[in-house]
């Protein structure tokens, strides 16, 4: 497999066009997490998703890695699934983290990946299931809609407060 700028663009298009599958997964995951944590989480629209896909793929260093994970997962299928579930789980978790961004969002996306993966069953093989769960987990983590993300953190120290 070779990842070129053209391949990155192709994978970006594929991820964008996956909105019809991924956006409902994002919203289902947000609903379940909101219920679990007793909070309301704003839903994501297809337009929100597409805009955020464009933002992820606009950063070349992130884009090449996301495209690589997507390309591998699109092709990955392990006969009888269970013996090879580790590879698609690892790739899915890392894709979700890469999409979400740095810590702490990357860790949240990895945890959310497993939560989304349990209920994600799409046609196309084991890798595509994990791919859809990873896209849902990564984008739901980085998109607005969580109240705790909207407020300023009380743990930040302003530069003028440093001694």
pLDDT at 62: 97
Domain count, the chain: 1
Residue 162, in any domain of the structure: no
pLDDT at 158: 84
- pTM of the predicted structure, to 2 decimals: 0.89
Residue 159, in any domain of the structure: no
Domain residues for the domain of 25 are: 5-146
Residues 6+ apart with CB under 8 A from 6: none
Residue 153, in any domain of the structure: no
pLDDT single digits (tens) 78-106: 766 666 667 888 999 999 999 999 999 99
């Amino acid at each position: 497999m070779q990842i070129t700028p053209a391949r990155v663009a192709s994978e970006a298009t594929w991820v964008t066009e996956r909105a019809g599958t991924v956006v409902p997964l994002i919203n289902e995951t947000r609903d379940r997490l909101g219920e679990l944590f007793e909070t309301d989480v704003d839903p994501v629209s297809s337009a929100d998703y597409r805009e955020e896909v464009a933002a992820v793929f606009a950063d070349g260093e992130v884009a090449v890695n996301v495209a690589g994970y997507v390309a591998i997962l699109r092709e990955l299928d392990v006969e009888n699934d269970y013996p090879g579930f580790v590879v698609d789980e690892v790739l899915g978790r890392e894709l979700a983290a890469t999409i979400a961004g740095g810590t702490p969002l990357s860790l949240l996306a990895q945890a959310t990946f497993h939560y989304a993966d349990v209920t994600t069953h799409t046609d196309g093989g084991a890798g595509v299931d994990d791919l859809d769960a990873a896209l849902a987990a990564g984008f739901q983590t980085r998109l607005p809609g969580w109240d705790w993300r909207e407020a300023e953190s009380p743990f930040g120290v302003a530069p003028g407060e440093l001694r």
